[in-house]
Structure 1
Amino acid sequence: MDKRSALQNIDATLQRIGFQYTGSGVADYSGSISVHGQPIDISLSIPDVSFVQKPRVFLKDRSQIPLETLAHVESGDGICYASGAGLPIDLYRPGEAILRILDEVKRTLELSYRGRAKLEIVDEYQQYWYPKLGVQVLLPKQQSSGGTDGFVFFASRNGQVEFLCLDRRPALRGYDVTFPEPARLRCVSEKLGPGGGIRAPKTLEDLRRWVDGQPALGVNWQVIFNELCQGLTVFFAGPNAFVGVKMEVPKEIATAILRKSIRKQSLTKLLVNRMDKVSVERYAGNWSSLDHVSSRNIPERDNFKNISVALIGGGTIGGYLSRLLVQSGAGMDGRLSIFDNQLLSEGNIGRHVLGFEYIGKPKALALKAELERFHPQVSVRAFNENALDCWSQIANCDLIIDATGEWNVQSALNDRFLAGRDFRAAALLHTWIFMNGAGVQSFLNLRDGLACFRCLKTSFDGRWRYPAGDERHVLNVQPASCGDGSYVPFSADAAVMAASLANRAALDWVSAKPGARLRTIAVDLERGRYQKPVSPTALKSCPACLGNSSSL
């Protein structure tokens, strides 16, 4: 339906239910809806008849619904009638779509009348705190009777302030730190909300009433008051909100303290009788630690937080895989190690996660820099060496991932993994691109009597047991050129898919559900061959299994 027809349909629909066009936009209307039998006047603005931008609805007279019973009012966008998941509506039936939106507005207001308002305010409490500044919180979530100490500071790069940060120390890798001030965070298991009739405190007296109305804090007002007078910014974190306050010391008192005519220790006595005159600044925090980033989507027990990972190969597959591993919890406390002894060439960047700025630099070190730029709490160890010369470091990790896609390296790692029992590594995961990107595969070896990597192809010139493409096709190898070696061309999406397949297999192993050991994805639908996920049996003819039979 074209825009003009859509507007005509909307206009006819709204006029039919008593709404009137008011302008100044192309689709601005006023009318009333019935909320529990009472007419409530609203204005409706429709900026986009495709509904990518949702229509905005405002109360014309807030006295018709007492504000204290109304949870869903947004300062800029009117009544919040759609959840975070959105409200699917049909752009091909614009009149019906608008009626559905008005029904949602009515439902929202009626929920407030039924007593849900206070609960909804609590659920969205951080929104009602009206903070002066937002804070990126890098502290861990942990409950402590005395709270967690840290510092609030501005993080800058190239002379520009980028954000306000709360962390244990006034230092952040990759950023310049300015104006650090001490802070204390208290995490509680119960929800925060209005207290003592106060939603968002403006003064110390408001804050006192608010604190007294928060029994979940487990701390009395005097403790909080003392901390504020000591110059601390105090934060409170519950399941629904992360809020903070800082006391604004009256200018004359602050000046007297600087001149040492008033001792800072006397501040509590000076302010106790004028708390209604002393303002507080409000802050809102957002959990953004690496721990939170990874556990938000993957439960801690199922991610790599406490798993040490050795990633062999920082090339096409390994580059993308390294980022997925970090986003899945690896890289905390140096538990991710990358091994690659090659430099990034101009030809690499057409299908590598690294870009132009890293050309000519060691891949392992460049990936370390890129990952640590992704998040300041990432800590990666990089080895610009031949991986097989670093076997002692590799074998001391819980999980070894081979992302080289090189037959010789795959076979050598398979042999060393089978041969030893006196090392920590419990799993060896291979991932590779088949032929010229026809498909991708991953294979997990747990040394549990099932197939090893060489069981999949017992001889170099033999056939794969479970090929991801037709091996009769000639492998397209591009000859070496000036400054670059010969290579097998395939598109970047194949590398991304191989990395994703390996990350999924690794996460399944971490969660104690390794599933099928060999997994296949057909990338090229014409040349690729799908293989059902399978856990192959070991072959008696496998040279690796025969050579290491005493250790199996």
Structure 2
Amino acid sequence: MDDDLDAAKLAIHAALGDIGFERDFTRRAKCLYTGVLDKAGLAVPVSIEVTDFDFLEYPEIRIAPQYVLPDRKLPHILGIEQSVCYYARGTVVLDRYNPAGTVLQCLKKCEEVIRDAVRGRLNDDFADEFGSFWSSVNSLADLPGEADGVGSVKYIRLGPGKEPVPVLAKDESWLWSRDPANGGKGQGEPAFIVRTNAALSINPNAKWPPGNVTELDRWLTWNDPTLGGKMQVALAKGGGDVGVLAVKASNGLFLCRAVVPVPYRTKEILENRRGNMAKNLTRIGSKISVERISSAPVDSSYVFGRNLHGSSNLADKRILLIGCGTIGGFLAQQLAQCGAGAGKGELTLVDPDSLYPANLGRHLLGAPYLYDNKARACAEFIGSQLPPLNIRAVPDYVERVGIFSDRHDIVIDATGEEALSIALNHRAVRERPASPPIMFVWLEGNGAVAKSLLTGQPTHACLKCLKPKLAAAARHRTLKSEESIVIERNAACGDGAYVPFPVSRSVGAAAMACDHVLDWVNGVHGDRLRSRTFDNAKAYIVPDSSPKPSTDCPACGKSHA
């Protein structure tokens, strides 16, 4: 390892020496060099320091302090140290096996960035990277897409021992409800929410950042003339000495917080002359300091839609999930994260069983839920992690739950209990077309392969079509040997017989089923029978397909005979 490091340093030393860079021997412990970029043009003196020879961290390149930059804000040149952001973190993979070439590559890119920044070619980048310039103070915003007008910022503790976080919302927020002491009525600070089609950016020819209301007003007006005076309006509408302006721009949501100076917190100014307050605040704007706060969305539409690339999520759908065990627990969480139970929808969880110590090794839930009913516990756990969802727990047997198309859009059987699945399938076939589609998901062997099947259409196979005779082989054989299945029993702790397999197989089966449900809601029916092989030694890799009904099927075969 030391030999590799020494070799990398020697290669870097030789490469930098070839382009006229010299080692800074005043700091021998560092791999630090100085030299000049763009020698024929701007002649910019810089230093480059390599701190990570795996190049997970890019070499730090700084413009020398004696170099006089233009008297305006330059994109990608940060702070008083004049550090150059030549690659955004994580956007480029640098070659650790070619340290010399990597360092020269970074210097070349840095030279391009400095040259273009000084010549004004990168000013549009301010808008793209505006969030990094605005503030390091974070807040959360629970706002619907078209929200504007009066709102509130409340300082919420998201968990025991957590520091309060500013949360902006209109009339209510799921995060406010997590902390009644700080999120209740009358708590927090008044906010005024405005919208603009402009992308907020930095005026390179003006002072940055704005430190008071006067400077903020100039900057807002430069971005969009309609934003001028909005900070004063926010303070005036608040009715107190504090106001928050939230600007919803095309490149994000940005907050400004201002406090009326103590000499102006008089009854005469704050009450009797409320109509003139905005005008008075403009007059003393240079004396009112401004705090800048960045914001990230946490509203339901963002949380449940961000990761779906424009596809439909599961909001407004009525989903019945039967079984909250090793597959069903993880599937319930994934469905919820895709919006199940949001809007006018409902996610119903059905399971009569409780969580026992033996379940902990491959279940969504942990020790705090031991001996609780699985359906209720999953509903409680998921509800504590996400925006409000309509999740209904039924701690009962599915035989007592009505399954009808006017009550459920889709039913998912994740019990993995073959007898129950056959009974559900038979019931669904007999009740067609009143029965909603049913998706079955299960594991075969010792978790060697996961399968899911979407049923409901008479033109496609029902569950029993896959294996018309219980004692016979399946039509679509997956396992290489049925005899290889291991079944264990821990008699000492009173467990029933069980099939051992790692939790990764449960998560994989749940993920496959979740993808299958998302395809269903987006009208991508594709292959109705899907499989994912995890153990190639025990199971075949079987292509996905949409099998036709079997005339030998005792459940639906008569209708196709």
TM-score by length of 2: 0.89
CA 1:379–1:43: 2 relative to 1, 3 Å = farther
Give the one of 203, 218, 221 matched to 2:212. 203
The whole-number CA distance in structure 1 between the counterparts of 2:195 and 2:114 is 32
Matches within 5 A, 1:109-508: 109-113=114-118, 115-130=120-135, 133-140=137-144, 142-143=145-146, 147-156=148-157, 157-158=159-160, 160-168=162-170, 169=172, 172-178=176-182, 179-194=187-202, 197=206, 199-215=208-224, 219-222=226-229, 224-231=231-238, 232-254=243-265, 256-257=266-267, 264-333=274-343, 335-392=346-403, 396-421=407-432, 423=434, 425=436, 427-479=437-489, 481=491, 482-508=493-519
Provide the rounded CA distance (Å) in 2 between the counterparts of 1:77 and 1:369.
Answer: 50
Counterpart of 1:369, as a letter, is E
User: What letter is aligned with 1:186?
Assistant: V
1:250 to 1:189, Cα distance in 2 relative to 1, 3 A: same
Q: Which residue of 2 aligns with 1:68?
A: 72
Cα displacement string for residues 343-398 of structure 1 (whole angstroms, at most 9, x for unaligned residues) = 01111111112112221111112112221232243442222121231224886222
CA distance in 1, matches of 2:405, 2:329: 18
Counterpart for residue 41 of structure 1: 45
Residue 519 of structure 1 aligns with which residue? 530
Cα shift at 1:162: 4.2
Give CA-to-partner distance per residue, 1:447-495, whole Å, 9 cap, x none: 1511111111113222211132124325322236233222111111111
Q: 1:99 aligned to 2:104?
A: yes
Supply the distance in 1 between the matched residues of 2:207 and 2:181 (Cα, whole angstroms): 34
Runs of 4+ in 1 over 6 A off after TM superposition: 258-261
Distance 2:460 2:556 in 1: 10
Q: In the TM superposition, what whole-angstrom CA distance separates every residue of 1:51-83 from its partner, at most 9, and x where no partner exists?
A: 122211111137543263621123489211113
CA distance in 1, matches of 2:268, 2:490: 72
Amino acid in structure 2 at the alignment position of 1:293: V
Measured at CA, do residues 372 and 13 of structure 1 come closer, stay the same or move farther in structure 2, by a change above 3 Å? same
User: Post-superposition shift, 1:406?
Assistant: 0.9
Could you tell me how far apart the structure 1 residues matched to 2:307 and 2:534 are?
Answer: 26
Superposed CA offset, 1:277-325 (max 9, x none): 2222211111233421332220454321332322211110111112222
Q: How many residues align?
A: 542
Q: Distance in 1 between matches of 2:82 and 2:358?
A: 49
**Match for residue 60 of structure 2 among 40, 56, 59:** 56
Contact (CA 8 Å) 2:72, 2:206: kept in 1 or not? no
What is the identity, as a one-letter code, of the residue corresponding to 2:234?
E
TM-score by length of 1: 0.90
Structure 1, unaligned stretches of length 5 or more?
A: none
Indicate the larger mover: 23-32 or 372-381.
372-381
Instruction: Rate the CA distance shift 1:509–1:362 in 2: closer, same or farther, 3 A.
Output: same
Displacement of 1:237 in angstroms is 2.1
Give distance in 2, aligned partners of 1:148 and 1:245.
15
* Secondary structure, counterpart of 2:12 in structure 1: helix
1:10-67: per-residue Cα shift (whole Å, max 9, x none)? 1222122222222264212221111772211111121111112221111113754326
Q: 1:486 to 1:448 in 2, by over 3 A?
A: same
Q: Specify which of 4, 7, 21 is matched with residue 6 of structure 2.
A: 4
Deviation track 1:484-521 (CA, whole Å, cap 9, x = no partner) reads 22211111111111111111111112221111111111
Q: Would the alpha carbon gap of residues 507 and 67 (structure 1) be closer, same or farther in structure 2, given more than 3 Å must change? A: farther
Cα pair 2:167 2:176 within 8 Å, conserved:
no
Unpaired runs of 5+ residues, structure 2, are none
CA contact (8 A) 2:21 2:35 kept: yes
